[in-house]
Amino acid sequence: MVYEFIPNGTLYHHLHIEGQERSLSWSNRLRIATEIATSLAYLHSSVSIPIIHRDIKSSNILLDDTMTSKIYDFGASRYIPIDNTGLTTRIHGTFGYLDPECFQTGRLTEKSDVYSFGVILVELLTRKKPTCSHLSNEYGGLVPHFLNLLASRNLDQIMDPQVLEEGGTEVQQVVMLVASYKNIRGEQGPTMRQVEVTLEGLQRGSNKKYKKDDTVTEEFENGSIGGNYPSWTSEG
């Protein structure tokens, strides 16, 4: 068997090297997130029979010689017939990335991949390991912990300083996108295609200077987080 040589390892490796203060640039993180979203959106909605990966995590995202991302390990993937809204299956996935609804009900839908991708988004924003046991034991996981800090206006406690230093207003937009995951259960929450479109738009947008404000928290608390992503205030 012949495989493509992937010289730059995994996304997990770049984010979680011990003792390394700086990691991938924010622009590269946003691009990689967009590439992953585009690939998953294709699997969910552009192939004749939708495919659910079932084990989306940063260690399954490979980076080639141009730092282009590639989704790896389809050993657990499942086809979902178009006329089905999901199927009941044995739980499969990685601790820290697993969709809570699928874990509780055994019901597999494309939203399981959407949730796992949301964990990667938070990982890109924070450089925190979703697989840390204390996150699950104390907070219910990385995404719930992130959303709780957002609601309490303490998001700076977990954000990667490099992201705040390098990122523009699109950082706030990505935070807002993650906030939409509070409605991920059932048919609510974003689809992978909606996530793709949002991230592509952010990549094309201008990189205005980041300004700390409470816009995201207010949207989150008022329950208005949804498919629409309003403009952000900026300095300058």
Query: Could you confirm whether 64 is annotated as catalytic?
Result: no
The owner of tokens 């992201």 is 163
Residue of 55, 99, 113, 160 with catalytic role: 55
> For residues 94 and 106, what is the distance between their CA atoms, to the nearest angstrom?
15
Greatest Cα-to-Cα distance within the chain, rounded to the nearest angstrom: 55
Angstrom distances, CA of residue 230 to CA of 24, 34, 173: 27, 19, 9
Q: How many CB atoms lie within 10 A of CB 15?
A: 22
What are the residues whose beta carbons fall under 8 Å from the beta carbon of 80, sequence distance 6 or more? Answer: 49, 50, 51, 52, 86, 87, 108, 109, 110
User: Measuring CA to CA, which residue among 9, 56, 27, 5 is closest to residue 162?
Assistant: 27
Residues annotated as catalytic are 55
